[in-house]
Structure 1
Amino acid sequence: MPENGASEQAQRGLHALNPFAKHDSYSRQALLFHKAWSLITYLLLLITAIYYDVRAPGEGHYNRSTFWGHNFPTPFKQSAIMTSIYWIVLFVLQSVYIYHLFVENAGSVTAAANIGSHSIASNLLLFGFIHLWTRSHFILAEFLLVINFFNLSIAYFRHSTLPRLIHIGSLSGVLAWNFVALYWCGAVMVHAHGLAARVVANVFVWGVAAYGGFFLVAFKDYTMGFALSYLSFSTGVGQFLVKNPVLQLQWIFAFAIGGLLFLLSLAVGMPGLIGREPFKRGAVVDEDRERAPLLADE
Structure 2
Amino acid sequence: MGINNFDLKRYISEKKVKIEEFINSYFNPSITPPILHESVLYSLTAGGKRLRPILCISSYEACGGKEDITAYATAIEFIHTYSLIHDDLPAMDNDDLRRGKPTNHKVFGEAIAILAGDGLLTEAFRILSNPKYADVKPINLLRVISEISYSAGLYGMVGGQAYDLISEGKEPNKEVVEFIHLNKTAKLISASVKSGAILADANDEQIKRIETYGLSIGLAFQIVDDILDIEGTTEQLGKPKGSDEKKGKMTYPRVYGIENSREKAKELIDHALKAIEIFDQKAEPLREIAKYIVKRSS
- With normalisation by structure 2, the TM-score equals 0.35
Question: Which of structures 1 and 2 has the bigger CA Rg?
Answer: 1
- With normalisation by structure 1, the TM-score equals 0.35
